Amino acid sequence: MKEAPARLRRKPSWLINRASARAHRLIKETMDAAGGHAYHFAILAALDEFGPDSQVQIGQRCGIDQSDMHTMLNELAEQGHVARTPDPADRRRNLITLTPAGRRRLEDLDTKVTAVQDDILDALSATERDTLTALLTRTLG
């Protein structure tokens, strides 16, 4: 790839976009090789951390559109990684629960995603990675 104009290279938004595109590509390649999807990782991680919840709440927590959530949950349920059970507080909705197989799948995907992070941020020290994470977290408010 040819070098971008200096005016662009000095814009954090341009650099973030480029880094994001690279990260997205590497995560997609890794998830494809693992027979999964980045949304699978996000959903399983949310269930692991916050416990059973509704499809809507998980989607909002992870920033996943509801039509995509439906598809991803169907895939995860077919694979035995999540279970749908009636919500005792509201029988009109289901609670999505992480299964033991889902917890194992989450650990496997987490290892793979961590390896991608190491690849993406290879040029940074551990302290620089922590600083970058803190700064990006602050910009997201």
Residue 24 lies in a domain: no
The three-state secondary structure class of 141 is coil
Domain extent at residue 102: 37-110
**pLDDT of 1 above 80:** no
Residue 74 lies in a domain: yes
Residue 88 lies in a domain: yes
pLDDT at 19: 93
d(CA 51, CA 16): 32
Place of tokens 């005016």: 7
pLDDT at 91: 84
pLDDT at 92: 86
State the pTM of this model: 0.88
Fill in the amino acid letter for 110. Answer: D
Residue 31 lies in a domain: no
pLDDT at 139: 93
d(CA 40, CA 93): 21
d(CA 4, CA 115): 28
Residue 85 lies in a domain: yes
Tens-place pLDDT, residues 96-130? 999 999 999 999 999 999 999 999 999 999 999 99
Q: What CATH code is carried by the domain that includes residue 103?
A: 1.10.10.10
pLDDT band at residue 89 using 50, 70 and 90 as cut-offs: confident
Residue 81 lies in a domain: yes
Give the chain's domain count: 1
Tens-place pLDDT, residues 13-72? 999 999 999 999 999 999 999 999 999 999 999 999 999 999 999 999 999 999 999 999
d(CA 122, CA 115): 10
Residue 95 lies in a domain: yes
- Helix (H) / strand (E) element for 12: namely helix 12-33
